[in-house]
Amino acid sequence: MSSTAAVALPLYPYQRRWVQDEARFKIAMFARQCGKTFTSTLELALDCARADVAGQRRRWVILSRGERQAREAMNEGVKLHLQALQAGFAAYEYEWQSGIKALEVELPGGSKITALPANPDTARGFSANVLLDEFAFHQDSRAIWKALFPVISKPGLKLRVISTPNGKGNKFYELMTGKDDGWSRHSTDIYQAVADGLPRDIEELRRGAGDPDLWAQEFELQWLDGASAWLDYDLIDGCDHPDAGRPELYQGGPCFVGVDIASGRGRDLFVVWVLEQVGDVFWTREVIADNTIGPLQQPEVLADVFARYRVLRCCMDQTGMGETPVAMARQRHGASRVEGVLFTPPAKLALATLGKERFEDRRIRLPATPEVRADLHKLQKVTGPTGAPRFVADSDGSGHADRAWACFLALSAGSQGAGAIGYTPALRHPRGFDNLAASALAGRGLQMRADAQYAGGDGALPEAGCAW
């Protein structure tokens, strides 16, 4: 690689400003879909490649919020840049400590870039330049910071911190809003990125977000304190996992089901949320959410769930039109296994409180889909005219927090304790959703599917501006 090849890479202006800023300590907020991880890993690749040409060594560590994000930063950022720079490297993957994998590339001259999940132990384990990726979403961000900052105190070591906002209750907010402290600060919202040439349809993204708070925080970079949201994004993101929401990973353990009833004619969703208890953690195995499944079809959908999982207990919304479905389910699956829940204000408060406790204790694992994330954050606790608390959620094209209530119902079912029941699993089909009773559904054209896994992340290559 020539020493000038690095500066020839075409970038959008906001990307150039970040990459070319050589401040020792710098921090940036980037909107979603703007390639912040891709851009930031470019600086690391350039630094190592230049050092290699000069006969020097550089050491960089990327601390991500989880193993999946660390892998994305390495595979969709660092390696792509090094390949584009025609810089030779060897790639390794090893066990950094029990349960924590490290991904690493090493250049011929000895420069290295390592990516791994962030925690206080990994933060203090290296003396190197550091990139904190999506720092606002790291668990124990303050503890990570206390462990990390002394490590990079050696003269000449650099620190880069990037994220989208995630409320005000984390170290990223404190760093980003500081003043006169030696930090170089950058901020690029979706409007600035598009003005700089990033090809994005802002209105299409806004409609697709389906949540004003999500749009304001993650695209407009507004600081939301989450005071009105019952579950803030930090709680939700702390419980997501790429293996959740995948029926094929069901281990045969005891399951608990929550059902939110709907008419099948409007915006409200009929939702079945299936949790498998593994140790003391409730893993989401399947989320069925559809506003076209009518009252005649819903019992068969639920019966299919009972056939495919070892369901110990099922809690169903019994309010209003839920009376008949609950009665049918109790008759079909047993009164000891099916419980109807009337959504009175005290009952909703109890459900929501139990649900929030499980999130705070990280005893639930969620599919990382934007639909689930937005629905859980949609629920708000407000105070009525008499001072009594109540829960509200804006109704939109994806219902009014129907997934959230189904999730809370499933957690409530799981709080009753597990008992032994006889169980013979139904035959599994490849997709896990197509073994409904044909006689009951013939001619109805019903299609079911769980929420698909959402890879998410911002490691995707921005289209035109980062073409090599």
Return the higher-pLDDT residue of 66 and 452: 66
Who's near 119: CB < 8 A, 6+ residues apart?
100, 139, 140, 144
Helix H, strand E, coil C: the string for the chain is CCCCHHHHCCCCHHHHHHHHCCCCEEEEEECCCCCHHHHHHHHHHHHHHHHHHCCCCCEEEEEECCHHHHHHHHHHHHHHHHHHCCCCCEEEEEEEECCEEEEEEECCCCCEEEEEECCHHHHCCCCCEEEEECHHHCCCHHHHHHHHCCHHHCCCCCEEEEECCCCCCCHHHHHHCCCCCCCEEEEECHHHHHHCCCCCCHHHHHHHHCCHHHHHHHCCCCCCCCCCECCCHHHHHCCECCCCCCHHHCCCCEEEEEEECCCCCCCCCEEEEEEEEECCEEEEEEEEEECCCCCCCHHHHHHHHHHHCEEEEEEEECCHHHHHHHHHHHHHHCCCCEEEECCCHHHHHHHHHHHHHHHHCCCEEECCCHHHHHHHHHCEEEECCCCCEEEECCCECCECCHHHHHHHHHHHHHCCCCCCCCCCCCCCCCCCCCCCCHHHHCCCCCCCCECCCCCCCCCCCCCHHHCC
Q: Which residue has the tokens 């070319």?
A: 20
Per-residue confidence (pLDDT) for residue 428, from 0 to 100: 46
Sign of the CA dihedral 352, 211, 247, 299? positive
Q: Does residue 328 contact residue 271 with C-beta atoms inside 8 Å? A: no
Per-residue confidence band for 225, with pLDDT thresholds at 50, 70 and 90: low
Cα separation of 161 and 130, whole Å? Answer: 8
Beta pairing, strands 25-30 & 159-163: parallel
Q: Does residue 107 contact residue 49 with C-beta atoms inside 8 Å? A: yes
Per-residue confidence (pLDDT) for residue 389, from 0 to 100: 59
Lowest-confidence pick of 180-184, 296-300, 431-435: 431-435
> What mean pLDDT comes out for the span 244-252?
96
Per-residue confidence (pLDDT) for residue 264, from 0 to 100: 64
pTM as predicted = 0.55
Per-residue confidence band for 196, with pLDDT thresholds at 50, 70 and 90: very high
Per-residue confidence (pLDDT) for residue 437, from 0 to 100: 36
Per-residue confidence (pLDDT) for residue 297, from 0 to 100: 92
Q: Is the pLDDT of residue 5 over 50?
A: no
Q: Is residue 161 packed enough to be buried (19+ CB in 10 Å), middle (13-18) or exposed (0-12)?
A: buried
Per-residue confidence band for 121, with pLDDT thresholds at 50, 70 and 90: confident
Lowest-confidence pick of 204-213, 219-228, 256-265: 219-228
Beta pairing, strands 59-64 & 254-260: unpaired
Length of the chain: 468
Alpha-carbon dihedral of residues 184, 189, 194, 195, nearest 10 degrees? -60
> What mean pLDDT comes out for the span 217-235?
79
Q: Is the pLDDT of residue 333 over 90?
A: yes
Q: Does residue 454 contact residue 190 with C-beta atoms inside 8 Å? A: no
> What mean pLDDT comes out for the span 321-333?
94
> What mean pLDDT comes out for the span 185-200?
96
> What mean pLDDT comes out for the span 384-409?
68
Q: Is residue 101 packed enough to be buried (19+ CB in 10 Å), middle (13-18) or exposed (0-12)?
A: middle
Per-residue confidence (pLDDT) for residue 180, from 0 to 100: 81
Condensed to tens digits (0 to 9), the pLDDT of residues 13-54 reads: 999 999 999 999 999 999 988 999 999 999 999 999 999 999
Q: Is the pLDDT of residue 459 over 60?
A: no
Q: Does residue 29 contact residue 186 with C-beta atoms inside 8 Å? A: yes
Return the higher-pLDDT residue of 373 and 390: 373
Output the average pLDDT for the chain.
82
